[in-house]
């Protein structure tokens, strides 16, 4: 074993993260990450867990008791939801309108669900009628749909789906990783049974913790499959025959760990808990509606800016998330080289794309801490310079001016 | 929805964490946790991932290319290992000598393995012969065993098991969460195929990231089951029929994300990566052998201290981990009240116990940052006071004196 000389302490370069996420965290979230640790059952720890649950009830707009964090990135939350709700062979309906719809289907398939998909063209959302028609046809146990799919920037309207799911006896699950905090979200008012997210988008934290909330109906499903793990199981503890085929992502055990019984499961990721708590605290301190409005304004300014600069926006703008816009890469501009110049010369990061859009569009985000005027204007100014350098026809200064106008007239 | 008034920024009380883990993190690890974020494919990010892989090769004492982090707590690493290595119906042999052996068996069972266990009395380890006998009888695909089980404080000798596994065509997997960094560990020299850990014990970081290393033989098994997920799969990508039934914990995909192809999977938990990197960097800067020696010395001092104070040590002291000792709660002392007094009056945390030892023993750790003389002496001095208060016969000052002697004569 030969090893390179030891590196020094971590010392990241200055970056303005204006891609589809992860984005630059709020400074106070970073400060929270470095707070000293306490023990797993320290009264301060359990109080902080309870407090964090209550904060996320505010973020989700829910009264759900079962509002916790899954210790992993957003897809850990997705997998925890699907593997805990869906028994092998049960039907799951996934309306797919971008990459993350495919991900929900993929995770449900691995959980041995019978997966049915319907697909919308990239850049479009589904009508309520199209989803209801599929529910009637498939009769799924769970409807699983993302709210915002960063791959296309689309924001699927969810507000009418809960009533439809309730009418048809379907559990209604959405992943709001890309959208939560930057767009309206009402877990209870929209009739959601399960919702999951991550910190690294509009919540303004690092990836690695997945907020999740479950309705009493969803908790009943999870509880019916409960199996307390060997090593801590006591006489009389449940051991369902159709227990969840994951230990780490078994919501039955995760809820018992967060609940009054405090049954040992994983060792809660304390620093991520601190960070997640601060993300929610900041959001509620600013106000849920005010944070969405800040994202709406930043998104409107960025949209006006890229359009005024002469760039073509991808997808159905009427259904775009507030926090991300996709623009077509101008003819002749090498997409990756231009993104590299933005990063190297300005420290500004914008995003590339997946699947059918790869090489065709850039994605520019305005999320969390970076849903700010100076971040929007700096990004547009840097983009001006880089587009000009690569010979794209640009209208110098017009993007910045248009974005500034949006802020001025707000 | 009525919500309590918003709390302030996180502000944990001062704690000296001397339980079986999590323990107080190294200050520089906490500082690393608050470093600014960069994008997922920023050259600094990918370089940091590569650097962290190389640092962990040093920690594990391995040349394994497949040395990465799983984004979750230590049991996420355990589940990733078992679910990725073991096909449903394959046999797994788990020698159980404490709670965490039960956990390995439980996770393997959920992964639909045919699980065989052998059990040692709590407080003992297995002889090599007992494990080989079981291997010959069961003919497992995988031998899964913890190195150190904090529930009993035992440290199972592993150095002869690799050769036995190789002779019988068995994959050799160990979970070293509780032991790594505080006790000898040699992934390559001991013939390990897979090893997993967490940061929250002797590595001196927060829970939430699980270092893992896989031998080329283990990588072959994982690769044979590879399925690139829907949404990013390209023509010609593999899609094994017996793919792993988890997406999040599928090591095939996790290795592709860390490998040269950098295939998008989860969004790496950047702050946890920074923390994990610093844990490894500190360990290698101090020197692998020196860190183990520091733990040996702290453990010897704590052992001498509790014995001199008149407490009875639980289990086979010859096979105790360096970093934790279990002591019987003296007759008449209310175990939880005494632990509460230590925490309330001195800010010192020691641990309770699981299963058959619950209410019978306390567990006292000397790990990572807290494997220090002042931490050992402070804990013993506080314990003196609390034992006296609860009427236990104590020999005032003798515990502290004995521990100080161990340090003085080192």
pLDDT at A362 over 90: yes
The pLDDT value given to residue A343: 98
Instruction: Give the pLDDT confidence of B327-344 residue by residue, as tens digits.
Output: 999 999 999 999 999 999
Q: Please give the average per-residue pLDDT across B365-383, as a whole number.
A: 98
Over chain A, what is the mean pLDDT? Answer: 96
> A241 versus A287: which is more confidently predicted?
A287
Q: How many CA atoms lie within 13 A of A237 on its CB side?
A: 15
State both tokens at A171. Answer: 């559990």
Q: Please give the average per-residue pLDDT across B54-63, as a whole number.
A: 98
Lowest mean pLDDT among A207-216, A233-242, B91-100, B194-203: A233-242
8 A C-beta contact, residue A125 and residue A166? no
pTM above 0.90, yes or no: yes
State both tokens at B179. Answer: 């032991």
DSSP conformation class of B330: P
Share of chain B above pLDDT 90, in %: 91
Q: DSSP string covering B38-99, please?
A: --TT-HHHHHHHHHHHHHHHHHHT---SEEEEESS-HHHHHHHHHHHH--TT-EEEEEESSH
The pLDDT value given to residue B346: 98
CA-only gyration radius of chain B, Å: 22
pLDDT at B2 over 70: no
Rounded CA separation B239/B7 (Å) = 49
Contact A231 B24 (CB under 8 A): no
Q: Which residue of B has its CA nearest to A250?
A: B110
Q: Please give the average per-residue pLDDT across B70-89, as a whole number.
A: 98
pLDDT at A3 over 60: no
CA distance A396 to chain B (A): 27
β pairing state of A324-328 and A361-365 = antiparallel
Measure CB to CB from residue B54 to each of A3, A15, A231 and give the nearest one. Answer: A3
pLDDT at B3 over 80: no
Rounded CA separation A156/A318 (Å) = 11
Q: Please give the average per-residue pLDDT across B257-286, as a whole number.
A: 96
pLDDT at A2 over 70: no
Contact A10 B284 (CB under 8 A): no
Rounded CA separation A161/A237 (Å) = 36
The pLDDT value given to residue B4: 67
CA distance B184 to chain A (A): 17
8 A C-beta contact, residue A387 and residue A338? yes
Q: DSSP string covering B193-243, please?
A: SEEE--SSSTT-S-SS-EEEEE-HHHHHHHHHT-BPPTTT--TT--B-TT-
Which residues have C-beta within 8 Å of that of residue B407, sequence separation ≥ 6? B297, B301, B373, B376
Measure CB to CB from residue A34 to each of B33, B39, B200 and give the nearest one. Answer: B33
pLDDT at A355 over 90: no
Instruction: Give the pLDDT confidence of B156-166 residue by residue, as tens digits.
Output: 999 999 999 99
Rounded CA separation A56/A279 (Å) = 9
- Confidence tier at B79 by pLDDT (50, 70, 90): very high
Q: Please give the average per-residue pLDDT across B249-270, as a whole number.
A: 95
The pLDDT value given to residue A12: 98
8 A C-beta contact, residue B352 and residue B335? yes
Measure CB to CB from residue B30 to each of A17, A34, A39 and give the nearest one. Answer: A34
Q: DSSP string covering A391-403, please?
A: T----TTHHHHHH
Report how far apart, in Å, the C-alpha atoms of A245 and of each of B54, B111, B162, B230 are.
Answer: 33, 6, 29, 21
The pLDDT value given to residue B8: 97
C-alpha B305: how far from its chain's center? 25
8 A C-beta contact, residue A73 and residue A210? yes
Contact A105 B230 (CB under 8 A): yes
Rounded CA separation A233/B102 (Å) = 10
pLDDT at B282 over 90: yes
Q: What angle separates helix B74-85 from helix B99-110, to the nearest 10 degrees? A: 50
Q: With b meaning 16 or more CB within 10 Å and e meaning fewer, what string describes B202-239?
A: bbbbbbbbbbbbbbeebbebbbebbbbbbbbbeeeeee
Q: Which residue of A has its CA nearest to B277?
A: A10
Name the residue among B343, B344, A45 with its Cα closest to residue B352.
B343
Rounded CA separation A52/B231 (Å) = 33
Contact A112 B24 (CB under 8 A): no
pLDDT at A1 over 60: no
pLDDT at A223 over 80: yes
The pLDDT value given to residue A67: 98
Rounded CA separation B186/B209 (Å) = 21
pLDDT at A119 over 80: yes
pLDDT at B233 over 80: no
Rounded CA separation B390/B405 (Å) = 27
- A355 CB neighbours in chain B (<8 A) are 231-232
- Confidence tier at A4 by pLDDT (50, 70, 90): low
pLDDT at B13 over 80: yes
Which residues have C-beta within 8 Å of that of residue B387, sequence separation ≥ 6? B309, B330, B333, B338, B394
The pLDDT value given to residue A220: 97
CA distance B101 to chain A (A): 8
CA distance A375 to chain B (A): 15
Contact A349 B42 (CB under 8 A): yes
- Confidence tier at B141 by pLDDT (50, 70, 90): very high
Rounded CA separation A215/B155 (Å) = 44
CA distance B409 to chain A (A): 32
Measure CB to CB from residue B73 to each of A24, A57, A266 and give the nearest one. Answer: A266
Which residues have C-beta within 8 Å of that of residue B224, sequence separation ≥ 6? B240
The pLDDT value given to residue B242: 87
């Amino acid at each position: 074993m030969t090893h390179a000389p030891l590196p020094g302490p971590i010392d990241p370069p200055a970056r303005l993260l204006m891609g589809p996420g992860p984005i630059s965290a709020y400074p106070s979230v970073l400060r929270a990450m470095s707070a000293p640790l306490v023990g797993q059952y320290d009264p301060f720890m359990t109080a902080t867990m309870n407090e964090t649950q209550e904060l996320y009830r505010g973020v989700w707009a829910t009264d759900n008791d079962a509002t916790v964090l899954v210790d992993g990135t957003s897809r850990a939350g997705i997998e925890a939801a699907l593997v805990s709700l869906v028994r092998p062979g049960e039907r799951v309906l996934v309306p797919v309108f971008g990459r993350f719809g495919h991900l929900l289907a993929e995770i449900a398939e691995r959980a041995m669900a019978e997966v049915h998909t319907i697909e919308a063209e990239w850049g479009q959302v589904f009508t309520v009628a199209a989803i209801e028609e599929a529910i009637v046809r498939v009769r799924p146990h769970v409807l699983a749909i993302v709210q915002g799919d960063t791959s296309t920037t689309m924001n699927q309207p969810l507000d009418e789906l809960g009533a439809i799911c309730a009418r048809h006896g379907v559990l209604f699950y959405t992943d709001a990783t890309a959208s939560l905090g930057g767009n309206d979200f009402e877990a209870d008012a929209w009739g959601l049974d399960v919702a999951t997210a991550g910190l690294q988008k509009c919540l303004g934290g690092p990836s690695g913790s997945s907020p999740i909330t479950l309705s009493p109906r969803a908790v009943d499903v999870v509880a019916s499959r409960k199996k307390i793990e060997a090593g801590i199981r006591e006489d009389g503890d449940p051991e369902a025959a159709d227990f969840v085929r994951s230990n780490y992502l078994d919501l039955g055990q995760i809820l018992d760990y967060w609940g009054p019984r405090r049954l040992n499961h994983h060792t809660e990721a304390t620093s991520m808990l601190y960070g997640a708590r601060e993300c929610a605290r900041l959001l509620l301190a600013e106000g849920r509606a005010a944070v969405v409005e800040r994202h709406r304004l930043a998104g409107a300014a960025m949209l006006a800016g890229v359009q005024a600069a002469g760039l073509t926006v991808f997808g159905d703008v009427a259904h775009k998330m507030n926090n991300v816009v996709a623009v077509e890469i101008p003819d002749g501009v090498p997409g990756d080289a231009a993104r590299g110049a933005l990063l190297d010369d300005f420290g500004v990061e914008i995003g590339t794309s997946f699947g059918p859009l790869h090489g065709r569009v850039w994605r520019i985000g305005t999320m969390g801490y970076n849903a700010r005027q100076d971040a929007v204007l700096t990004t547009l100014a840097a983009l001006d310079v880089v587009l000009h350098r690569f010979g794209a026809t640009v209208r110098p200064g017009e993007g910045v001016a248009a974005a500034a106008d949006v802020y001025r007239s707000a």
